[in-house]
Chains A and B, each alone.
Chain A
Amino acid sequence: MNRLHHLAAVTHGLQRALAGLFVATSLVTLGTTLLEFGSASWTIAAAPIGFVLGGIYGVAYYLRYEYEVTDTTFDVASGVFSRRSREIPYRRIQNVDVRISVLHRLLGLAVVSIETAGGGQTEARLNFVSEAEADRLQREIRRRTARATGSRSEAGTDHDDARETDLQGDASATATERTGTETPASADETVAGTDSVSSESNARNHSVGTQSASRTRHDDRTRSLFELEARELLLYSFTSFRPALGAALLFFVFIAIDPVINHLLTVSQPIGGPADLETASIGNYGVLTLVSFAYGVIITYLVSVAYTFGAYYGFTLSRAGRDFVYERGLLQRYSGSIPSEKIQSVTVTDNPLQRLIDYAGMWIETAGYGPESGTGSQSAVPLAQRDRVYEFTERLTGSETPQFHSPPALARRRYVARYSIIAGVFVAAIFAVTLVTPLEQWYLAAIVFVAVPPAAHLRYVNIQYYVGEDHLVIRRGFWRRRTTVIPYYRVQTISTRRSIFQRRLGLASVIVDTASSSSFSLAPPTIYDLELEDARDVHKTSRNRLQRSLRERARDDDLGLTVDFT
C-alpha cells in the first residue's frame, strides 16, 4: 500500500487543526451567548485544544489513507474512525485527471482524481502525491485498463499465443513495433483458418488480435494529435464569454462594496448619474443601473478572457494506446486521460462570434465527472477552424458528413408565440414599475417586440438533425450552439415528448439520452419540434439501429471510434 506525499501530512494536519480551532472557539461562543454557559475566557484553553485535536486527526487521516495499484483494481483505504476500503476495477474507470495548482507546482505535487460512471462525485481523489507518482499512476492505470479491456474478450477462450504477444509487448518496448505489425496478420490468419468452426470464438480471437496490436504498437508512448496554437488560443480567449465568472465577481463586489459604489458613482455622474446614493432622481438611478450593468459585463468578459487564456494555455491532446491524454494550463496545470472506449458522444460547440470567424471547438463526453463544470465533458480541441473541427469529428466518430434536416416551419411559429409571451411579460413588468415610480412611458418597452421575429428565426435555423447510418447528429442552440454526434450504440433511452401546445400543431420533440453526465442546466440532446411522423420515425430508427449496432459490436468488437482523428 502507498501513502500520499509526506507533505500531505502537514497540509491535512494544518487544515484540520484550523478546523478544530474554529469548532472549539465557536462552541465556546455558542455556549456563552446562547446557553449562558461558561465564559469567554475559556477560549484561551479551548482554542489550543481544538487546534491540537484537529491536527492529530489530520495526521491520523494521512496515516490511514492508503492506495494501491493491484492487478485488477485500484484500491483506496481511508478513514480514521469509520474505515472505507474501495476497489475500483480498471475497466470501469472513465478518466484519470491530474491537477497541479500553482503552489503544488512549486513543490512538485499533484492531485489525482479517478472517475467512474457511478456515484455523484469523484471516486478516488489522491490529495496529494508527487508529480512523478501522479505520472506513474496515470500510466499504470492506463496500461492496466488496456489489459483489462483486452483480456475481457479473451475470457473463457484459449488464445495463449495472442496473450503471449501481449505480454511480450508490455515487457519490452523495443520489440513493440515488430510484434505490433505482425499480430493483426496472424490474427487474421487464425480467423481465416477457423472460419467455419465457430463464429463466436472467431470474433473473440480477432478482437484479441487487434486489441493487442494497437496496444503493443503504442504502449506507453504518446503521439500528439492536436496542439492549440498561439493564434487559436488568443481567438478562443477573446471569443468565449463565461457568465458563471460574473457570479464569482459579485462575491468580490460584496467584499469591497464601498469603493465599487464610489467608483460607479464617479463614472456615471458626468453622463447623468446621481451625485450620491441618497439624493437622486429615478433617471439618475436608471443611468447608474445601466452603467453598473455595462461594467459588470465588461469586467466579466475581461476576466473570462484571462481565465480562458490561463486555463487553455499550452493545450495539447495526444494519444497513448487507446487513451486520449490532454494537458493544459498556465498556472494551474490540468492533465487527464480518457479511454477512447468510454466516450459517449462528441459535441462541436460554437458561439455567434466563433461562427463569424468560422471557428469551432470539439468536446468529448464521458460518463465520469471532469474537473471543469462538474460534467463529463472534456475539451478535445478547444478551438480550431470549423472545417478542421468537423473533419476531426467525422474521423473520430466515423460518421458520414451530416445532411442536416430542419424541423417544419410550423416550429418557428411556436417560437414567435413563445417569445411574444416573454416580451409581453416584460412589458407588463415595466408597466408595473411605472405604476409605483414617476416613470411614465412604459409603452416604450414594447420595442422588445422588435427582437421577437429574429430571435424566433435564429432559434429555428439552429435546430437541425441528421439520422445517419451509425450516428445521430443533433444540433441546437444559438448562443452556444452544440452539434452532438451520438453513436446509436451509446443511446440509453429514447423519448418522444409532446406538450399540449405541440400536440395542437402536430409536433413532437425527441430526447436521446446517453450516459454522458450533463449538468442540470444542460438538457440531454433533444431534437425539438419535429413533425410527429418524423419524430416517430427517428424514435424507431434509433431503436432499431441501436439493436443492430449491438449485434455488430458483439460480432467484431469494433470500437466505432478512430483514435487518430487529426
Chain B
Amino acid sequence: MESLHSRIRLLWIAQGAIVVAVLGAALVGVDRVISAIDVPVAAIAGVIGLAGVLAVAYAVRLYQRWQFELQDDALYLERGVITVVETAVPFVRVQHVDTQFGPIERALGLSSVVVYTAGTRNADVRVPGLTPDRARRLQDTLRELAIESDTDDAV
C-alpha cells in the first residue's frame, strides 16, 4: 500500500484553516450585526482555537489513514477518519483519468489523479497528494490498464 506525500497534510490543514476562518468570521459577524447577541471575545477565540486543533488532528489522522494500491484487477483505496471507506475501482470500469491541481496544491507542488467511472455514487475517485511526476505515472498506468482490460463497452 502506498501512502500520500506528507505535504498533503499542509494542504488539508490549509483547507481546515479556511473553514475555521469562515467560522470565525461568521461568529464575529453575529456579534457585530445582531445587537441582541453579544458573543464574548474569549468564546470566539476558544471556538476558533478548538476548531483549529480539530482541523490539524483531522488532517494528520486522514494522512495516516489514506492509502492506495494498484492491485491485480482494481485500484484500491482506503481513506476516511470518521467513516472509513475502502473502495475498489476495477480497471475495466475506468472511463477516463484526469490529473488536477488547485492553487494550494500547486503552491505545495502536489497534484491529484481523478479516476472516473460510469457509476453514480463514486463516479469520480480522487487520489490527492501525489507529486506531479507520480500523478503522471499513475495516470499513465491506469490508462494502460484500462485499455488492456477493456473487453466490452462498460455501459
Contact = CB atoms under 8 A, between A and B. Distances in A.
Q: Do A and B come from one complex?
A: yes
Interface of A: 91-92, 94, 117, 342, 344, 367, 491-500, 503, 511, 513-518, 523-524, 539, 543, 546-547, 550, 553-554
B83 A498 contact: yes
Contacts of B89: 493
Contacts of B120: 513-518, 524
Contacts of B155: 94, 117, 342, 344, 367, 515
Given A515-B154, A523-B121, A493 B87 contact: yes
Given A493-B89, A495-B85, A500-B82, 10 more contacts: A94-B155, A491-B93, A493-B88, A493-B121, A493-B125, A495-B122, A513-B117, A514-B120, A543-B74, A554-B152
Contacts of A543: 73-74, 88, 90
B85 to A, nearest CB: 5
Given A91-B153, A500-B83, A554-B151, A515 B119 contact: yes
Interface size class, chain B: 20 to 34
A515 B84 contact: no
Nearest to B82: A500
B83 A513 contact: no
Contacts, number: 92
Interface string B36-63: 0000000000000000000000000000
Determine the main DSSP class of B at the interface with A.
loop
B118 A499 contact: no
Name the 9 nearest CB pairs between A and B, nearest first: A492-B119, A513-B119, A515-B118, A117-B155, A495-B87, A554-B151, A496-B86, A499-B83, A524-B121
B130 interface: no
B90 to A, nearest CB: 6
A516 B90 CA distance: 17
Contacts of A554: 151-152
B83 A493 contact: no
Given A342-B155, A511-B121, A516-B120, A496 B85 contact: yes
B122 to A, nearest CB: 5
B92 interface: yes
A553 B90 contact: no
Contacts of A518: 120
A257 to B, nearest CB: 32
